[in-house]
Amino acid sequence: MNFPSNFRYTKDHEWISLDGNIATVGITDFAQSELGDIVYVEIDSVGKTLAAETVFGTVEAVKTVSDLFLPVAGKILEFNAALEKQPELVNNDPYVGGWMIKLEVADVKDVEALLDAAAYQNLVH
């Protein structure tokens, strides 16, 4: 299982990748594998400013539904529209095509405080 070393991770299995103060957020390879075939990603929080660890959407697999938690505080700018038609991108390409939201991060230092790839790998192994 692959966990890019330049990303940060949460114990709820989201990844976050920072570019300036704009972050991209998705779920990890481990999370997609645990969920199984993903059939729907619902995100109705675009435009909202939310605190860290609040629910910003849900991901539905064939058998289960799981909440998505915001890794750090910020304003949700955009939802990956490709997931509307192809939710399976989250399974097949969790770190690139399967990204879920773009986030304007309130404080970039919050991101550094999250788990690095090694720490996350320890958590799931």
Q: Which positions touch another protein (CB under 8 A)?
A: 36-37, 39-40, 42, 58, 60-63, 65, 91
Evaluate the CA torsion angle 11, 63, 99, 107 in order and state its sign: negative
* Residues belonging to the chain: 125
**Nearer of residues 16 and 38 to another protein, judged by Cβ:** 38
**Nearer of residues 34 and 53 to another protein, judged by Cβ:** 34
CB of 66 to another protein, least distance (A): 12
CB of 58 to another protein, least distance (A): 7
**Nearer of residues 60 and 78 to another protein, judged by Cβ:** 60
**Nearer of residues 106 and 124 to another protein, judged by Cβ:** 124
| DSSP letters spanning the chain | ----TT-EE-TTSEEEEEETTEEEEEE-HHHHHHH-SEEEEE---TT-EE-TT-EEEEEEESS-EEEEE-SS-EEEEEE-THHHH-TTHHHH-TTTTT--EEEEES-HHHHHTSB-HHHHHHHH-
